[in-house]
Amino acid sequence: GCAYASVVRKGAWVVAEVAGESAPPQLYALDAPRDLVAARDGVVLSVNVKSGTALVKPGDTVRRGQVLISGSERVSKEETRGEAALGSVTARIWFTAQGEAPLCRREMRYTGRESTSTCLKLMGLEAPLTQGEDFPLSIQSQEELDVGGLFLPLHILRTHQKEYRWETVAEDPQALKASLADQLLAQCQAEMESAALENAEIIDKWTDFSMIIEESIRARAVLEVSAEIAVSRGNLEEQSFWKEIR
């Protein structure tokens, strides 16, 4: 009943160490009764049963977690026995993504007007030399020129301003649609890859667009895929667990 035991003499002491035996883990029984359920929502394309009883047929719409192949088999009219359901169910499934992009953007543009102001600067004191024009919106830059002075350093402070204004620029609708479609379809592709479905194959893909009060474009991308969706319930619960952690 022990996994480890030792006895060591240390001077006038005898030290004994004993570690209890751990119970062996339960082995997974491949032939234990179990059902195969749907990993995702979809429309059934084909059903291939090796053991168990098919509860769906091609054309049926199934929901995630719905039993596809039951782990039971009828022995007689009065008796059924449990078994491990085996087989595959291929279905059409869809991955979708939605997004929105404005038809116009604000852009800062220089007007071409510039001005420069200068002043003498001695420590914390300033004396204006030339005064340039002030703009309500401008980018400013400054530079200091040393004039001289060992104990009282004298500088000329030059302030340069460049005027700008904000303008509303219209986006190219076709280029905006193409960029939005590529972005959303890439999201669908990433979601499909993260689902790790067996034998996943893209059947079709499309993007629908709609205008929102002529201010932005809303898009909905769809990726249609055929894949095997039959998994054990334990596998389905494990997928849910890791999805919640992420």
pLDDT at 241 over 60: no
The answer to whether 89 touches 69, Cβ cutoff 8 Å, is yes
- Strand-pairing partners, residue 217, are 101, 211
Give the mean pLDDT of 180-207: 92
Report pLDDT digits (tens) over 67-104: 999 887 665 666 666 778 889 999 999 999 999 999 89
User: Above 70 in pLDDT, residue 245?
Assistant: no
Residues 206/219, Cβ–Cβ less than 8 Å: no
Measured between alpha carbons, how far is 91 from 128 in angstroms, rounded to an integer?
A: 80
- Long-range contacts, stretch 108-115, CB < 8 angstroms, 24+ apart: 108/164, 108/165, 108/166, 108/167, 109/164, 109/165, 109/166, 109/167, 110/162, 110/163, 110/164, 111/163, 111/164, 111/165, 112/163, 113/162, 113/163, 114/160, 114/161, 114/162, 114/163, 115/160, 115/161
The residue count for the chain: 246
Distances (CA, A) of 112 to 135, 139, 205: 12, 12, 48
Does residue 240 carry a pLDDT above 60? no
Do the bridges between strand 125-130 and strand 104-122 make them parallel or antiparallel, or are there none, so unpaired? antiparallel
Q: Which amino acid is at 206?
A: W
Predicted TM-score (pTM) above 0.75: no
Instruction: Quote the CA–CA distance of 226 and 106 in Å, as a whole number.
Output: 43
CA distance 113 to 135: 9
The Cα 54–Cα 87 span in angstroms is 9
Of 77 and 140, more confident? 140
Query: If pLDDT is split at 50, 70 and 90, which confidence band does 243 have?
Result: low
Give tens-digit pLDDT for 11-45. 889 988 888 777 665 544 555 668 899 999 999 99
Q: Write the CB contacts of 241 (distance below 8 Å, at least 6 apart in sequence).
A: none
